[in-house]
Amino acid sequence: MTTDTDVAVIGSGFSAAALAINLVNRLAPTARVSLVGRKAKWGRGIAYSTRADCHLLNVTAARMSLFADQPDHFVQWLSQNGYAQAGDEFIPRQVYGRYIGSCLDTALEPSGNRAALHIVDAEVADAEITAEGGFRLMLTDGVTLSAGAAALCTGAGFRRLPIPEDAIAPGARQSIVDDPWQDEWWERLPKDADILLVGTGLTMIDQCLLLKARGFEGRLLAVSRRGLLPQPHLTPRKQPGDPVLSPGTGEVSGMLSRLRASARQEGDWRKVTDGLRPVTQALWTGLSASQRQRFLRHAAPYWNVHRHRMAPSVAAEIAELRNAGRLVVHRGRPASVRAVEGQIEVEIRGRANTTLCVDALVNCSGLERCTIDASPLLANLSKRGLVTADPLGLGIWVDDASACLPASEPKPPLYALGLLTAGRHWEITAVPDIRVQAAAVAAAIAGRIGRARPADEGAVRI
Ligand SMILES: Cc1cc2nc3c(=O)[nH]c(=O)nc-3n(C[C@H](O)[C@H](O)[C@H](O)COP(=O)(O)OP(=O)(O)OC[C@H]3O[C@@H](n4cnc5c(N)ncnc54)[C@H](O)[C@@H]3O)c2cc1C
């Protein structure tokens, strides 16, 4: 069976929802937008599918509106839907998932004055260019979808456990949790279990909070190469300062020195890092390929813990666990795992080699880079020359307007959003960045397929 659509939005997370809703607002009322992704996660993706109230947004509500040009949209939704929280609070992520779901529901309602949105509960396995210059998408349910344009919003999966499979003894495998988001893995452990969390970023923080909320009382051990934890937000948030760096003005090491000096002068580094937000993407674009490599190798881990921070109440809970000795952070690299008398022994290599004896090991390595071989769809598109890897292997290569750069011209009407485009934009992980990209891509697609809503028609926006 083949169905037709004007634009196919591929994915089921925030990026896909934001783009689909922007398209519905921007395209002519006769246009049709299809959102193709697995129903279980529509609009929520990995980030907002959690059902735990202890998992909070790491950005205040006031900055999480779906629309950059309607900054109060989320806060208004909260008050209209009986939530008492204010704009400067860090809301449970599952509530944010409900907000995105409710915006999608509104977009799905038939309206004579907006483009129509359809949801297709399937994945896209492959796509090819048609003679007319559009796409034929092959879905996992056997349906074929013909689209004038398409957008990849397929996000990133989770990083594999950084331990070679042949260094894990067969008897130890059952004590290892590869994907902490997959199921309620903690249910099979006793409440006094000792648990090793591999990774010390926001995924590790989420798992610690969950274990604490579920009444676990055993030791929590966490390990990563540098042992860096996300920094806390402060409340009230200080107004960001003016950017202290400008694009294309020097070496990475010089930029970092300037940042440190400004942070010392200001007395709060948050004001300085937050002040860089409006220019972060331009700073990245202004670096040469070798400067970007150097940044990734030496500075990115430090950048990430300062840029992607913990809500203050989360930071307080983590500090409490650490002060009580219930969470201990190690520096090093887990090298091997073996089974010993009902537990597992994990060999940690680092400055001081050590062995940790625990009941379970949980992979908290965080988000994977969006490499082409990590996604069957991207691998198929790459074979057809429709997408290419970015030179740093962060995702796929796009131009400044987020249009995919193919192996050879002409450029097909194919766009990408979110972390997939980190090679071009770098900071494109969080809602405040992706929502700007979604609005810009919707405008670009509307122009490209010639189906923009006429300017004189009053828009009935969501
Ligand atoms: C645990 C966690 C917490 C976060 N918290 C915050 C926060 O508080 N604030 C913030 O601003 N940002 C946060 N982020 C950042 C987050 O990445 C973004 O906010 C946003 O959710 C990214 O959405 P996405 O749609 O690009 O990717 P994803 O959420 O990964 O969604 C991509 C979806 O596409 C689907 N898909 C993949 N391949 C196909 C295919 N071939 N066909 C159809 N569908 C496919 C996948 O199954 C997946 O559901 C968090 C991220 C994580 C992981």
Q: Which one is predicted more confidently, 319 or 159? A: 319
Query: What is the ipTM score, two decimals?
Result: 0.99
377 CB near ligand 1 (under 6 Å): yes
Q: Identify whether 186 is part of a domain.
A: yes
Closest ligand 1 atom, CA of 433? 11
Nearest to 167 by CA among 353, 366, 358, 345: 345
| pLDDT score of 368 | 83
Q: Identify whether 50 is part of a domain.
A: yes
Nearest to 41 by CA among 3, 83, 94, 116: 94
Average pLDDT over residues 212-233: 97
| pLDDT score of 61 | 96
Judge whether 394 and 423 are in contact, CB under 8 Å. Answer: yes
Rg (alpha carbons) of the chain, rounded to whole number: 23
Q: Identify whether 242 is part of a domain.
A: no
Residue ranges making up the domain that contains 172:
165-231+309-363
Mean pLDDT of the chain: 94
pLDDT at 43 over 90: no
Q: In angstroms, what is the span from residue 113 Cα to ligand 1's centroid?
A: 30
Q: In angstroms, what is the span from residue 396 Cα to ligand 1's centroid?
A: 16
pLDDT at 22 over 80: yes
Judge whether 204 and 364 are in contact, CB under 8 Å. Answer: yes
Nearest to 16 by CA among 120, 129, 136: 120
One domain for residues 67 and 107: yes
Judge whether 378 and 397 are in contact, CB under 8 Å. Answer: no
95 CB near ligand 1 (under 6 Å): no
Q: Identify whether 321 is part of a domain.
A: yes
- Domain boundary among the residues 307, 329, 352 is at 307
For the chain, the domain total comes to 3
Q: Identify whether 458 is part of a domain.
A: no
One domain for residues 323 and 182: yes
13 CB near ligand 1 (under 6 Å): yes
Q: Which of 9, 12, 53, 209 to mutate to test the pocket of ligand 1 (most atoms within 8 A of CB)?
A: 12
Percent of the chain's residues with pLDDT above 70: 99
One domain for residues 200 and 338: yes
DSSP, collapsed to helix, strand or coil, labels residue 414 as strand
Closest ligand 1 atom, CA of 50? 1
Token pair of 384 as six digits: 């057809």
45 CB near ligand 1 (under 6 Å): yes
Closest ligand 1 atom, CA of 57? 8
One domain for residues 205 and 317: yes
Q: In angstroms, what is the span from residue 155 Cα to ligand 1's centroid?
A: 5
User: Where does the pLDDT of residue 359 fall: very low under 50, low under 70, confident under 90, or very high at 90 and above?
Assistant: very high
Closest ligand 1 atom, CA of 10? 43
Q: Tens digits of per-residue pLDDT, 397-435?
A: 999 999 999 999 899 999 999 999 999 999 999 999 999
One domain for residues 338 and 286: no
180 CB near ligand 1 (under 6 Å): no
One domain for residues 7 and 113: yes
Q: In angstroms, what is the span from residue 344 Cα to ligand 1's centroid?
A: 32
Judge whether 348 and 333 are in contact, CB under 8 Å. Answer: yes
Beta-carbon contacts of 132 under 8 Å, excluding residues fewer than 6 positions away, are none
One domain for residues 88 and 131: yes
One domain for residues 289 and 207: no
Q: Tens digits of per-residue pLDDT, 272-287?
A: 999 999 999 999 999 9
Q: Identify whether 456 is part of a domain.
A: no
One domain for residues 174 and 288: no
177 CB near ligand 1 (under 6 Å): no
| pLDDT score of 120 | 96
Q: Identify whether 241 is part of a domain.
A: no
One domain for residues 18 and 36: yes
- Domain boundary among the residues 363, 382, 399 is at 363
Domain CATH for 380:
3.50.50.60
One domain for residues 215 and 324: yes
153 CB near ligand 1 (under 6 Å): yes
37 CB near ligand 1 (under 6 Å): yes
State how far the Cα of 11 lies from the Cα of 18, in Å rounded to an integer. 11
Residue nearest (by alpha carbon) to ligand 1 atom 2: 47
Average pLDDT over residues 198-226: 97
pLDDT at 457 over 90: no
Q: Tens digits of per-residue pLDDT, 165-199?
A: 999 999 999 999 999 987 789 999 999 999 999 99
- Domain boundary among the residues 363, 381, 396 is at 363
Q: Identify whether 378 is part of a domain.
A: yes
| pLDDT score of 454 | 81
One domain for residues 321 and 401: no
155 CB near ligand 1 (under 6 Å): yes
DSSP, collapsed to helix, strand or coil, labels residue 313 as helix
